[in-house]
Structure 1
Amino acid sequence: MSLLTIILNILLPPLAVFLKHGLGMTFLISLLLTALGWIPGVIHAFLVNGNR
């Protein structure tokens, strides 16, 4: 995982997921989790971007 991805995962989780996976269910889940609370969005972004 690059330094840019790590920074985006922390600051803008949906953007980090979008740049890595594009529009899709993963992006929508990230957007929803970030809207519900910033920390769940960050955790989801790290899990999703760390797997691929």
Structure 2
Amino acid sequence: MTLIRLILTILLPPLGVFLTVGIGGHFWLNILLTILGYIPGIVHGVWVIAKRS
């Protein structure tokens, strides 16, 4: 399941974070980071998934 989340995070960072932590602070932060720049959204998404696994 973690591999699927990582792939989804690379394609659409907020989706991977949502599947990991739901709608909360990390999700909204990831949306903001993705809007500001795609790469920061990916980095944050991978960090959230790695931290929760």
Fold shared, TM-score > 0.5 on shorter chain? yes
The residue number in structure 2 matching 1:9 is: 9
The residue number in structure 1 matching 2:19 is: 19
Specify the code of the residue in structure 2 equivalent to 1:42: I
Q: TM-score, normalised by structure 1?
A: 0.92
Q: TM-score, normalised by structure 2?
A: 0.90
What is the alpha-carbon root mean square deviation over aligned residues? 1.1
Identity of aligned residues (%): 52
- Which segments of 5 or more consecutive residues in structure 2 lack a partner in the other structure? none
| Cα distance in 2 for residues equivalent to 1:17 and 1:7 | 11
Q: Offset of 1:43 from its aligned partner?
A: 0.1
Q: Offset of 1:40 from its aligned partner?
A: 0.2
Residues matched between the structures, number:
52
Tell me the alpha carbon deviations over residues 4-45 of structure 1, each in whole angstroms, 9 at most, x when there is no partner: 111111001101001110111110000000000100000000
The residue number in structure 2 matching 1:28 is: 28
| Cα distance in 2 for residues equivalent to 1:49 and 1:33 | 16
